[in-house]
Amino acid sequence: MTARDKAGFLRDMSSLASYFPTLETARAQLSLPAGEPVSVERLAMLVVHAALIRRTSWAEDVEIAPATLERGEPALPDDLEVHHHVRLDADLGGGPCTACAAMPGKRPCRVCGGKGMLFLSPCSCANGYIPCPTCGGTTKSNRVRLRYYTDAPAFLTEAYMPTHVTAVPTLFGLESRMEQDIQFQQPLPEELRCHDLTGRVAGSAYRGGERTIRPDFHGHDFGDTIDKALAGLSAIGAGASVVRHVIRAYAWPFLRLRWAMGEDLAIYVDRIGSTKVFGTSGVPLGID
């Protein structure tokens, strides 16, 4: 490839069209079976980059709470660090202090062992006793429920291949090969971003409601990858409430081509713009 070709090629890679493989380009650059394929399936891998904050909490009932505790849910974090919070969750009502029930308002001093003297000098306690540290000597408790919160980040970086493709013996290994060739862990081109995977569109004002269309990426079908991605996302959120999330989804298009003699190939464009072929007789002649 000449320098001028390379410059032109890099400029072309900024356009959406450069990510779509074509049979014509593949034929010109790679070894493909002769004749026309009997089936051309336009498909896409789905790549998800997600960062979310999982909030978990647990409660503890205590006799007395620090006076400075706030109530209510902690504010949402604005970073992806681990945070801990304590909040006053509920007042459980007053009653006798259970910590000093045997000796209301007092507790034996642990310094002098309750003797009131330390060696030959009087202990700083009051004749062997100190005020009950739980109720402060009042003999009354003010029981409250505390709630401890932990906000912790979780990340998902995953590429999903339509399941029916992974079941084709000649395409075994396509998923991991494409994952390497498109470098799915790296930031992906904005042109390949999918802003809505739900496929929901507003319904008629007269009928109301919404209708669902099957999402695709410029005619390339996602297969079951959206369901797999949603399952992956709910799995990392499970057991917590997800209080923040940033989810980016990208399509990486490819073609599955079948010929009458049984050849079953996939072609796609890799990260640097080379057309790749995978599958039976898919020996790349390569222009890397």
Which residues of the chain form contacts with Zn ion (CB under 5 A)? 97, 99-100, 109, 111-112, 123, 125, 132, 134-135
- Please state, in angstroms and rounded to a whole number, the distance separating the CA atoms of residues 44 and 41: 10
- What the block records as the tokens of 205 is 């004002």
Q: Name the residue nearer to Zn ion (CB basis): 125 or 197.
A: 125
CB of 144 to Zn ion, least distance (A): 15
Q: Least distance from C-beta 107 to Zn ion, angstroms?
A: 8
Residue 125 or 265 having the CB closest to Zn ion: 125
Distance CA 117, CA 124 (A): 9
What is the CA angle 40-45-51, rounded to 5?
165
Please list, in sequence order, all residues whose beta carbon lies within 8 angstroms of the beta carbon of residue 111, skipping any fewer than 6 positions away: 118, 123, 124, 125
Nearer to Zn ion, 13 or 65 (CB): 65
Q: How far is the CB of 228 from Zn ion (least distance, A)?
A: 57
> Least Å distance between CB 95 and Zn ion?
11
User: Closest CB to Zn ion among 77 and 108?
Assistant: 108
Least distance to Zn ion, CB of residue 66, Å: 16
Q: How far is the CB of 143 from Zn ion (least distance, A)?
A: 12
Q: What is the DSSP string of 235-282?
A: HHHTTSEEEEEEEEEEEEEEEEEE-TTS-EEEEEE-TTS-EEEEETT-
Q: Which of 272, 275, 253, 221 is nearest to 32 (CA)?
A: 275
Q: Which is nearer to Zn ion, 111 or 260 (CB)?
A: 111
CA-CA distance, 69 to 146, in Å (whole number)? 9
**What is the spatial distance between Cα 133 and Cα 112, in angstroms, rounded to a whole number?**
17
Nearer to Zn ion, 109 or 229 (CB): 109
